[in-house]
Structure 1
Amino acid sequence: MKIIIAPDSFKGSLTAKEAAEAIERGLRRSPLKAETVLVPMADGGEGTVQSLVDATGGHMIQAQVTGPLGQSVMASYGILGDGRTAAIEMAAASGIQFVNEQTRDPLVTTTYGTGELIVKALDQGAQEIIVGLGGSATNDGGAGMAQALGARLLDADGHELTQGGAALARLDRIDISGLDPRLASTRIRLASDVTNPLTGPEGASAVFGPQKGADPSMVATLDAALAHYAAVIRKDLHREVETKPGAGAAGGLGAGFLAFTPAVMASGVNIVVETTHLKELARGADLCFTGEGGIDFQTGFGKTPMGTAQAVKESSPGCKVIALAGNVGAGTEELYKVGIDAIFSISPGAVSLEDAMTKAADNLAAVAENIGRLLA
């Protein structure tokens, strides 16, 4: 029997690699005889870089960059096992964890540090960059990132714009003569399942701004500034980004990538499936274990367990997929229609959240062992 073990991370408890190892450990304690193949997975959200590094035998690099409020922060990015692909989570440099209730302010927060991480990855020789969009503290349309990459955003007096989304209202012209030339020959893929446009009622400011501290007045200010930004991009760069699906991801960072780099949007889980060679590894598999911290109806919208199940069954149609989760929520019956064959909670009973998270590895192993014993 061949078993693929391909979970996502269990947020706050286990990395995807640790979850996979716990499942394997439990199976080994059962009488079931099987070949196991571990493939840590992710869907573009938190933990994607670590999963890709673990799955490909790569390594992490730490770098000092500019945080969302202009402060110096320590961020990490990954160089994958092929030595030519970098993986970056924008939240590592520009994430909401760097602000609090008192300091969060999407009028001034910047993605400059994300641009600095891209430059550092290029300095490491990266020819391809995977960027996870999400968890941002910013609403600047990727303007800060563009400035870090060498673009000049100028006001009517020819002065460089200050940082933050509100400053975009003063943008008069864009000069990309100093843009890092290495970008033109770099493949950049944006891992995000967000399809929001840049502006409007479904745009970055209206939908995600309140999470970052924007009141209704600030939302209106930011939305107008991003609309003006898109108009100047249209005039000077001849690119249409305002209505592109995904342009509103990470406070409009998606639009910034589409405007200033050759980036393309892609499903986060599909990028991970391709990068980890999951389909190739799953050929001839009889069983697949996947999972993440919580599984419910939203899992069917492209999250890791569904994407994993579909990829594995594309290679091995007869493979049965078992999903394990710390919490099994409402609507999971819909997942049986999209490739998952069985879902199990790893909770041993009524326990505190702290206990559940502390003992996640042991609970995963215990459930995997019992499933192994049943199959044996």
Structure 2
Amino acid sequence: MRGVDVLIAPDSFGTALTAREAAERIAAGWRRAAPDDDVALCPLSDGGPGFVETLHASLGGALVAATVTGPLGAPTPAAFLLVGSTAYVESAHALGLSLVPADRRDPTVTTSRGVGELVVAAIAAGATRVVVGLGGSATNDAGAGALVGLGLDAPRLARGGGALSGVAVDDLGGLRDLRDRLGSVELLAATDVDVPLLGLQGASAGFASQKGATPEQAQDLERAVATFAHAAVEALGDALRPDLLAGQAAAGRRLLAAPGAGAAGGLGFGLALLGARLVPGATLVADAVDLDGRLAASDVVVTGEGRFDWQSLHGKVTTAVAARALAHAVPAVVLAGEVLVGRRELSAAGITAAYAVAEGADQVAEALADAGGSLERRAQRVARTWSR
């Protein structure tokens, strides 16, 4: 009897499993329950951890090693992918949360400087187009540190988000020249979420707590980032493309509110100051691996991530997969460590069903202790429902 054609297309499960490891574990569990099914693996990324690995597997190219400034200021090994004249940079290599010990996580002091240094290294290697994957950051400095790494003479900006509170226009006198110097390079920021820089779902209010900030620090960061952002926009002046109807001021507001400006602690905004185009990372990767073609040959797709919550509905891999699966009339099934989204939101996102590895708060620690085994066992149970 012919089995089901199953496509396994997850993101990474936080720091517990890479996308490749998660795909392999899900596939192993599925095959145990349904050995006649044809199971294909397609690990994905939304711009966060695994961005370079996923694209390297699909596009080939050369991995180029570099040493850059880590989020706490120490030298950190990193790499970028060079495919022809295009370089793919994974910001998590330079500012990833996994690079900071749990007891030292403090987004008021962590810096994105290393990302700028990685971009400089990519340009020096011959890249004329640089795609920076954003996500999984330990920082909340609106990309200010990255500007220093790219050559802006303003050391204060590389001291973390907390140091931005007193930044003035005079501190950013070289910003316009830096933008001009990078004018010959096409910059893309592949964002893992579509949130703005400021506000209740912005970088500080929405994500700083995950990086170690207290509620009070998150509020301080919101104010500090806003101060820096407004000063940067003013420093650029008419270098920003004006809004023909609303004027120059509207151009700055548009930059702050752009979907993805708040990604990676506001790094999306920092790169946009230099003319980078913000694009959904999950879409960019899906196109690179021909996800549509693979969905067209599948009966069901299984995607997943560590925690499926409100953030997942803002540009993450799971919802991107579901949207494309819907276009191909393929059921989309989500496996996640935790599922914190209701049925109505799942349905609106085009997700057919979602299953949690940890079905209660008391099971989370147990699941994390054996992340791969727990996911594999859950996939085995799910396969019994979805296989013939």
Q: Kindly indicate whether residue 370 of structure 2 is the aligned counterpart of residue 369 of structure 1.
A: no
Counterpart of 1:64 in structure 2 is 67
1:171 counterpart SS class: helix
Counterpart of 1:336 in structure 2 is 347
Letter in 2 for 1:173: G
Render the CA deviation track for 1:104-160: whole Å, top value 9, x for unaligned: 473x65432211011122334443413214524242x4343233323456xxxxxx8
- Trace 1:114-133 onto structure 2 (pairs within 5 A): 114-126=115-127, 127-133=129-135
Render the CA deviation track for 1:278-331: whole Å, top value 9, x for unaligned: 1122222111111122234553343322211211332x22x2222222223341
Separation of aligned partners in 1, 2:334 and 2:26: 11
Q: CA deviation at 1:65?
A: 1.3
Is the 2:358–2:367 Cα contact (8 Å) retained in structure 1?
Answer: yes
Q: Tell me which of 136, 139, 157 is aligned to 1:137.
A: 139
TM-score normalised per structure 2? 0.76
Counterpart of 2:307 in structure 1 is 294
Separation of aligned partners in 2, 1:227 and 1:31: 57
Counterpart of 2:151 in structure 1 is 150
Letter in 1 for 2:196: N
CA gap of 1:258–1:241, structure 2 versus 1, over 3 A, is farther
Separation of aligned partners in 1, 2:305 and 2:296: 23
1:260 counterpart SS class: coil
Counterpart of 2:267 in structure 1 is 253
Q: Kindly indicate whether residue 199 of structure 2 is the aligned counterpart of residue 186 of structure 1.
A: no
Render the CA deviation track for 1:10-50: whole Å, top value 9, x for unaligned: 22321111111112222333444233321112333344444
Counterpart of 1:157 in structure 2 is none
- Trace 1:186-225 onto structure 2 (pairs within 5 A): 186-197=186-197, 212=213, 214=217, 220=223, 222-225=225-228
Of 233-242 and 41-50, deviating more is 233-242
Separation of aligned partners in 1, 2:71 and 2:253: 23
CA gap of 1:363–1:243, structure 2 versus 1, over 3 A, is same
Is the 1:309–1:339 Cα contact (8 Å) retained in structure 2?
Answer: yes
Separation of aligned partners in 2, 1:325 and 1:72: 33
Q: How many residues align?
A: 362
CA gap of 1:57–1:124, structure 2 versus 1, over 3 A, is same
Is the 1:68–1:93 Cα contact (8 Å) retained in structure 2?
Answer: yes
Is the 1:191–1:271 Cα contact (8 Å) retained in structure 2?
Answer: no
Separation of aligned partners in 2, 1:16 and 1:179: 35
CA gap of 1:306–1:358, structure 2 versus 1, over 3 A, is same
Separation of aligned partners in 2, 1:89 and 1:302: 17
TM-score normalised per structure 1? 0.78
Counterpart of 2:247 in structure 1 is none
2:131 counterpart SS class: strand
Separation of aligned partners in 1, 2:64 and 2:278: 25
CA gap of 1:281–1:122, structure 2 versus 1, over 3 A, is farther
1:23 counterpart SS class: helix
Is the 1:247–1:255 Cα contact (8 Å) retained in structure 2?
Answer: yes
Of 234-243 and 188-197, deviating more is 234-243
Separation of aligned partners in 1, 2:166 and 2:119: 23
Separation of aligned partners in 1, 2:370 and 2:105: 34
CA gap of 1:125–1:182, structure 2 versus 1, over 3 A, is farther
Separation of aligned partners in 1, 2:32 and 2:175: 62
Q: Tell me which of 15, 18, 40 is aligned to 1:15.
A: 18
Counterpart of 1:35 in structure 2 is 38
CA gap of 1:349–1:161, structure 2 versus 1, over 3 A, is closer
Letter in 2 for 1:79: L
2:296 counterpart SS class: coil
Q: Give me the CA root mean square deviation.
A: 3.7
Identical aligned residues as a percent: 30
Letter in 1 for 2:28: R
Counterpart of 1:264 in structure 2 is 277
Separation of aligned partners in 1, 2:40 and 2:282: 18
Separation of aligned partners in 1, 2:204 and 2:306: 29
Counterpart of 1:156 in structure 2 is none
Q: Kindly indicate whether residue 276 of structure 2 is the aligned counterpart of residue 273 of structure 1.
A: no
Separation of aligned partners in 2, 1:162 and 1:368: 46
Q: Which runs of 5+ in 1 are unaligned?
A: 154-159
Render the CA deviation track for 1:210-239: whole Å, top value 9, x for unaligned: 765747667545533432222111256667
Letter in 2 for 1:38: L
Separation of aligned partners in 1, 2:9 and 2:192: 20
Is the 2:61–2:84 Cα contact (8 Å) retained in structure 1?
Answer: yes
